Structure 1
Amino acid sequence: MHAYRASLLRFSPEGEALFDDDGLLVTAPDQAGVQRVLAAGPHREVAARHPQAAVTHWPGRILAPGFIDMHVHYPQTDIIGAPADGLLPWLEHYTFPAEARFADPAHAAEVASFFLDELQRHGVTTALTFCTSHPASVDAFFTEAQRRRLRMMGGKVLQDRHSPDGVRDETEQSLIDTEALIRRWHGQGRLGYAITPRFAPTSSEAQLRGAGELAARHSDTWIHSHVAENKDEVRWVRALFPQARSYLDVYQGFGLMRERAVYAHCIHFDDTDRQLMRETGAAAAVSPTSNLFLGSGFFDYAGAERIGMRHGLASDVGGGTSFSPFHTMLAAYYVGREGQTKPGLSLPPSRLWWNATGGAARALGLAGVVGTLQPGTEADVVVLNPQATPLLARKTARAQSLEELLFSLIVLGDDRVVERVLVA
């Protein structure tokens, strides 16, 4: 049993932010050796119930749930900030050449280790990531994540057409490889497999159909892809799949819409698309730094909330420009201003933080597992220093409410705020 005393930020299962100036978090291992939250709340109350727990005291610090990144590409770590005219030229000139190198297991292993170092340095303890079309990239990612006992999901990219040599796979073999990887990695420790068609244009109908069949056979896996990110891409999909009502409808037609199906971007949607997301339980991974960087458009937060479409935040590195959840939350705040019709903040700070923790967990089908620090959840915890920089210290000392404190951290925070990370 472990107990940690500091200020404590946690969330109710419904997303209400709970804050204790003097809090106590008590954890204990389950049968698998994973530390879970036993109790969390005001120090005076929790300590009285657990007098036997030895306490580690971090005065002036904030304990909070580990951040969750709903969509990121670990093989694109080295192409952050690559200049391009837009999504499709960026893929052609930077992404595909970089990903071709992941046929080499040694390269894949080196990048996987660096990538997970960066996630943890920024306080990210759970992520849903693209690998590449090479099985070696998946093995490298999961091997390193398992060594660190992280909760991570990922999968081999499926792309059997409209892709250059070096990343294009073969239809039947790609599906055989995917099923073998599911059997090897899914459910091993804290790992989960994601069936990963890159996006509709780069998969044949046969490959998409096979992916849907795998998703039906392995119903507790994730599905991970892109949809409606860029207007040129949307036009391309319309030409390739003229029978589909919309880009999103392509995936529905191949059995790729269900709980634990996560689609990045979801920008160029109408309400029918949003209703389909809600009805199937699929979720949007909102990637504001990427969308701003590539000029793709603005996610409609108001539309998602109005329809009840699940969504959470994502870095989308390397289209995204930072691993930092603080940068992602701030970009989401900017984007939320687009089309805003009511006075006030576009997205309240506590809602932004929820979308990077417990809300992202719920969208991923991991409600009650991570993201809230509620009793029974896995104890992935970040220790935050609200005095990490002189300006931040000055600002947070003047905060008159929890919303002001969280907004100060979002606007001025970066990896220097994350003092340590406790995994499981």
Structure 2
Amino acid sequence: MTVTAASSLRHAMTHAGRPGPAQWTNLDGRVTLRTLILIRWIAVIGQLATVATVQLVMGFPLPLGPVLAAIGASVLLNLVAMAQRGGRLRLADRDAALYLGYDMLQLTLLLYLTGGLANPFAILLLAPMTVAAAILSRYSVVLLTGLNLVCLTVLAMWHFPLPWPEPMPSVAPLYAFGIWLSLSVSAGFISGYVFRVAEEARRFANALSASQVALAREQRLSSLGALAAAAAHELGSPLGTIAVVAKELLHDMPPDSPFTEDVALLQSQVMRCREILAELARKPEADGGDPFERLPLTALVEAAGAPHRLGHIQFTVERSDGSVGEEPIVRRSPEIIHGLGNFIQNAHQFAGGRVTVAASWDAKSATVVVMDDGPGYPAHLLSRIGEPYLSARSERSGHMGLGIFIAQTLLEKTGALVAFSNNRSGGARVVVRWDRGVLEPED
């Protein structure tokens, strides 16, 4: 019974923090201990300088014993923290939150001893929370913001008088409430705003890293394709020589020779090798493996969509009737192949039965439009399509995700403009447009 109760308690403790994120106990923290140690040393130096100025220069009476004890506790904890591998330790989210929580409580104690919210330095209570919002998870930021509001409320209700050489009239209750309210609102606004900005920066950094990985993979595939094409070309000559020699041997060999079957087998295997090399050379990965090889725009679209075709989806690449002039001859770059391929794959994923890619051009620009007959983009998210990690849900109506961001980033790298919309008859529509001078540069 005791074991069962202990097991239940462990399970409850493990899940009690939900919906707290996994980062709460993640050992791969976003901040090093050295950074927080440096911030605390700056705070300690500022606190000592303020105490010395107020007590010695201005002559205001301070409860020096408790004040110096509070500052000394921070000094002691910082020295202990420095002993942990010189501060090079990366803190888990929980440990960093506890570290900043202590700083908030220590500053609250100093303000309690020196006038509470009437102390002009009370605004510094927002500093630890701002640091937390920039580096910690949402769960930790919410907890520390709550702690900050508790500290502000305590200081508004209980505190020692503000150190002053002569008696001061007590602050009007309404004015004191205004100070508390302004600091509380500032705490909520700053924590929310800083966390949102920092989280967006982290998301974009992660998404750009993912796009670089995708581009590197496409470049490796292109290199392998070029190598395969070169190998097929180079091996063709020696295999042709072997085939000629085998044919001559078979022709000159008597019918009853014991080596007739072996030579015939050799000849058949040579033919098989030549077929394999010919097939390898015909594959899109090898045929356009060289990123500097040029091909028509419609052929480029065909190559981008070839790996993503599904048997039950009708896939069509067409030239728009409004095209004017000669078709652009463009480089088969990994960015364009992977970017258009992602959009075509996304269209196949959500299409009801048809995906159409229309290419058009004139003297100034070239455009590729990817359309499907699926549910289209959600209207309330249409203006945000292309942002990384737009939604964690995977409904079929989503048309969202990191893949769209990667595709847009890669195509914009080639000078393209990407726009998202819905067709009037239903389905999603992606328009990719280049200036011909950018897409079709002169050699």
The question of a shared fold, defined as TM-score above 0.5 by the shorter chain, is answered with no
Q: Which structure shows the higher strand fraction?
A: 1
Name the TM-score, length of structure 2 as normaliser. Answer: 0.20
Q: Which has the higher helix share?
A: 2
- Normalised by the size of structure 1, how large is the TM-score? 0.21
